[in-house]
A and B are shown apart, each in its own frame.
Chain A
Amino acid sequence: MAFEGYLLPPSGKDWSKIADYKANGGYEGAEKALRSMKPADVVAEVKNSGLRGRGGAGFGAGMKWSFLPQDVQRPRYIACNADESEPGTYKDRQILERNPHQLIEGLLIAAWANTIDAAYVYMRGEYRGPFENLNAAVAEARAAGYLGRNVLGSGLDFDVFVHRGAGAYICGEETGLMESLEGRKGQPRKRPPFPAIAGLWKRPTVINNVETMSHVPHVIRKGADWFKTIGTEKSTGSTIFGVSGQVVRPGAFELPFGTPLREIIFEHAGGLRPGRTLKAVIPGGVSMPVLDAETAMQVNMDHDSLQKVGSLLGTGAVVVFDDTSCMVRAAIIISRFFRHESCGQCTQCREGTGWLHKLMLQVEAGTARKSDLDVVDEITRQMEGKTICALSDAAAWGSGWFLRRFRPEFEAHIDRGGCPHAGTSFEV
Chain B
Amino acid sequence: MPLSEELKARITAEFPKYPERRAVLLTALHFIQEECGGWVSPDVVPELAELLGILPIDVEEVVSFYPMYHPDRVGRFHVQVCTNIACCIRGARGVVRRLEEQLDVLSGEVTEDGLFSIGEVECLGSCGTAPVLMVNNERFVENVSADDVPGLVERLRARAAGGGANGSNGAGGGR
Contact = CB atoms under 8 A, between A and B. Distances in A.
Interface stretch (B5-13, B78-86, B109-117, B152-160): B78-86
A236 interface: no
A124 interface: yes
Given A333-B85, A341-B122, A167 B62 contact: no
Given A87-B123, A128-B137, A252-B128, A427 B26 contact: no
B68 interface: yes
B20 interface: yes
B138 A428 contact: no
A167 B70 CA distance: 12
Interface residues of A, number: 57
Nearest to B127: A244
Interface in B26-67: 26-27, 29-30, 52, 54, 58, 61-62, 65-67
A316 interface: no
Contact of A286 (B58, B69, B85, B129): B85
A321 B89 CA distance: 8
A159 to B, nearest CB: 8
Contact of B84 (A132, A180, A186, A333): A333
Interface residues of B, number: 48
Contacts of B125: 84-85, 89-90, 93, 124, 126-127
A362 B29 CA distance: 39
Contacts of B76: none
Interface in A336-364: 337, 340-341, 343
Given A164-B26, A319-B85, A185 B65 contact: yes
Contacts, number: 155
Contacts of B91: 426
B86 A88 contact: yes
A323 to B, nearest CB: 13
Interface in B147-175: 168
Interface of A: 75, 84-90, 93, 124-129, 132, 161, 163-169, 180-186, 201, 242-246, 250-252, 282, 286, 317, 319, 321, 325, 329-330, 333-334, 337, 340-341, 343, 426-428
Interface of B: 17-20, 22-27, 29-30, 52, 54, 58, 61-62, 65-69, 83-86, 88-91, 93-94, 121-130, 134, 137-140, 168
16 contacts: A89-B123, A125-B68, A163-B26, A165-B66, A166-B29, A182-B20, A183-B26, A183-B54, A184-B62, A242-B127, A244-B127, A250-B86, A250-B130, A252-B128, A427-B94, A428-B88
